[in-house]
Amino acid sequence: MPYFKRTALAITLVAASLTGALFAATSSAQGNSGDATIKEIEKYRQALGDGNPAELWEARGEVIWKKPRGPRNVSFELCDIGLGPGKVKGAYAVLPKYFADTDKVEDLESRLVTCMVMLQGFKYEDAMKSPFGSPERKSDIEALVAFVTAESRGLKMNVIGNHPKEKEAFDIGKAMFFHRGGPHDFGCVTCHGADKQRIRLQDLPNLTNKQQAQRAYTSWPAYRVSQGEVRSFQWRLFDCFRQQRFPELEFTSQGSIALTTYLAKNANGGVLSAPSIKR
């Protein structure tokens, strides 16, 4: 086949497949099958995954990580986030864990705050000031979270959890997962305790099922297309509780870390894909 003809054919095929994709998206939105819509959303996610804006947060986070900061003018490179001072690769896979220097179980976000205070000399209030970013004011924490978690991409979740305080955190987190309250009687378990549940067209992972818990946990943090921000796991819990009609979950609170411990340990063996991209 002459070259020009092949090119013309290729263009036609591309055009046809694009039309097909658009048509599929339109028809599923109008049709009555939720499954078809979910498949299209999954395709959309995969397409977006090729160019995830979370990379911008990862790059910014790396700069912040390496830069001397705070009253003591020290970088995060001496910060122990789980595998020893300065060790970033693989650290997210073992969190949350017990840290002897604070005598607490900590997650990544809490540990970043700890290093800002203990290592860099920031005031606690200042370190806690901007946990979640907005288009007007970006969060350093979210950038650091993106950088650190990206360094564990492809690794398996491996929360040990044998320390008595880690066991206690797991048990408290489990009780929180099943705690129903508020005006709607909701608990985490209301939406995440059974297979194949949906709110409107949004799929809900069953977090009491091993495979689904792994898939869900390992995809956070994530770049949220609808918000234009990378969101940390602390944000994920904060916003779940808002929708649960609960009061505000405090950033890096003991309860938030306990629930994260429960969910992270249940995801052991799952391969980290974060920061991922979500609607």
- 154 is a contact residue toward other proteins (CB under 8 A): no
- 35 is a contact residue toward other proteins (CB under 8 A): no
Q: Which residue number, 73 or 202, has a Cβ lying nearer to other proteins?
A: 202
Q: How far is the CB of 219 from other proteins (least distance, A)?
A: 21
Q: How far is the CB of 255 from other proteins (least distance, A)?
A: 3
Rg (CA), the chain: 21
CA distance readout (Å), 252 to 183, 190, 255, 260, 274:
25, 24, 8, 10, 20
Does 188 qualify as catalytic in the annotation? Answer: no
> Given candidates 72, 201, 228, 279, which one binds other proteins under the rule CB under 8 A?
201
Nearest Cα to Cα of residue 219 among 34, 42, 77: 42
Q: Determine which helix (DSSP H) or strand (DSSP E) holds 44, and give its type and residue range.
A: helix 34-49
- 261 is a contact residue toward other proteins (CB under 8 A): no
Q: Which residue number, 37 or 120, has a Cβ lying nearer to other proteins?
A: 37
The 8 Å CB, 24+ separation contacts for 39-47 are 41/201, 41/279, 44/279, 45/277, 45/278, 45/279
Residue with tokens 């608990």: 187
d(C-alpha 207, C-alpha 191), whole Å: 9
How many Cα atoms are found within 13 Å in the side-chain-facing hemisphere of 163? 16
Q: How far is the CB of 156 from other proteins (least distance, A)?
A: 24
- Sign of the Cα torsion 252, 256, 260, 261 reads positive
Active-site option among 79, 115, 191, 240: 240
d(C-alpha 148, C-alpha 275), whole Å: 10
- 278 is a contact residue toward other proteins (CB under 8 A): no
> Given candidates 31, 71, 154, 228, which one binds other proteins under the rule CB under 8 A?
31
> Given candidates 40, 156, 255, 273, which one binds other proteins under the rule CB under 8 A?
255
- 181 is a contact residue toward other proteins (CB under 8 A): yes
Per CB under 8 A, residues contacting other proteins are 30-32, 34, 164, 167-168, 171-172, 174-176, 178-187, 189-191, 193-194, 196-202, 208, 241-243, 245-250, 253-256, 258
Q: Where in the sequence numbering do the catalytic residues fall?
A: 240
